[in-house]
Structure 1
Amino acid sequence: MAFNHNIDNPSRALWLRGSSVALAVLLAAGLAACDKKPGEPSAGQKLDAAVEKTENAAERAKVEAETAANDAKAKMESAAQDASAAARSAASNAAAALDDTAITTKVKAAFAADPNLSAVLISVDTKDGVVKLSGPVKTPDDAAHAERLTQAVEGVKSVVNELKPSNG
């Protein structure tokens, strides 16, 4: 049987053209597959690897961001606690200074009300509730009386009596 190469038939020509294109595509695909080296990842495998690397990097960034946020929060809490403690300490120191001033004022007022003691000549220094008396008094009894008056003032913890009787 003789092979008829009659391409005058339009449907046959169309069929040959389509077959030729299909054959060319198959050959190109086959050659592309042959071009792949053994052990080299495919395009899909490369894409999967790239996606995995991106996911890993995103997870690391998330963990680092969370760690940094936690560190910042801890530092802020610590700073707030330090500030609070400093404020309490300052308030306590201010209250103690006011207490010492109030004690000194009350002791001086008691001396001013007593005819035997001089609020002007007797020095009264108060620190943390400890009152130091110094200066001249007329008699040792006046020195003892000044100490008793001082000890009776609210807030006084102790008295250091350095009063000097001028006549005795």
Structure 2
Amino acid sequence: MNNDIDQLPEQAQRRTLMTPAFRIATAAALALTLAACGQPEQDATIGQKLDTAIAATEKKADELGERAEATADRAQANAAEATRDARVSAGETTAQMGDFIDDAAITAAVSARLAGDPDLSAIKIDVDTRDGKVTLSGPAPSEAARARAAELAISVKGVLGIDNQLVVTSS
């Protein structure tokens, strides 16, 4: 008898014949054939074969359920790790934002101090802050005014250093 299975390579035939679905289908076909022949003495054997096939199917279903559970557990662990990573990343971003806000606050405070000084309020001094280091640039009417601007800037809370680039202009 020459059918499709005979034309498959031997390894593929064995793999096909070993699948639970193929076994169940074979057992069911055998059961129906014997039932149609009216051979009651074979009922016990058919019943046993069906029971075996059902047990094998249930076992496979249990195995698949366990694998699905394990996969779900791994997915949950991966999600938790991703959440932790996102929180750490968000924390780093918040810290960077805090640095930016601190630099902006320092710049504003230094500018306010300079504007409040009678000798410095009339001149335009540019203030830039990066990581707590303040850079002063622009003109200064005298060396004393240049030094006073640096003193005012360093007195602001959070200032870590001064780069005094003020240029004394003689009038």
TM normalised by structure 2 equals: 0.66
| Deviation of 1:122 (Å) | 0.6
RMSD: 2.6
Structure of larger gyration radius: 1
Other-structure match for 2:98: 95
Other-structure match for 1:123: 126
Deviations 1:27-60 (A, max 9, x none): x979x57xxxxxxxx3244234313311321122
Distance 1:136 1:52, change over 3 A: same
- For 1:152, the aligned partner's letter is S
Distance 1:58 1:80 in 2: 33
Gaps of 5+ in 1: 1-27, 34-41
- 1:164 and 2:161 are equivalent in the alignment: no
Distance 1:83 1:73 in 2: 15
Report sequence identity in percent: 38
Compare 80-89 and 68-77 and name the one that shifted more.
Answer: 80-89
Structure with the largest fraction of helix: 2
Count residues with an aligned counterpart.
133
Distance 1:119 1:97, change over 3 A: farther
Gaps of 5+ in 2: 1-37
Q: What SS does the corresponding residue of 1:154 show, helix, strand or coil?
A: coil
| Deviation of 1:120 (Å) | 5.0
Distance 1:131 1:53 in 2: 77
Once the two structures are superposed, the pairs formed by residues 1-168 of structure 1 within 5 Å of their partners are 42-118=45-121, 121-167=124-170
Other-structure match for 1:14: none
- For 1:128, the aligned partner's letter is D
Distance 1:119 1:96 in 2: 30
Distance 1:161 1:73 in 2: 55
- For 2:137, the aligned partner's letter is S
Compare 89-98 and 128-137 and name the one that shifted more.
Answer: 89-98
Distance 1:139 1:120, change over 3 A: closer
Distance 1:159 1:151 in 2: 7
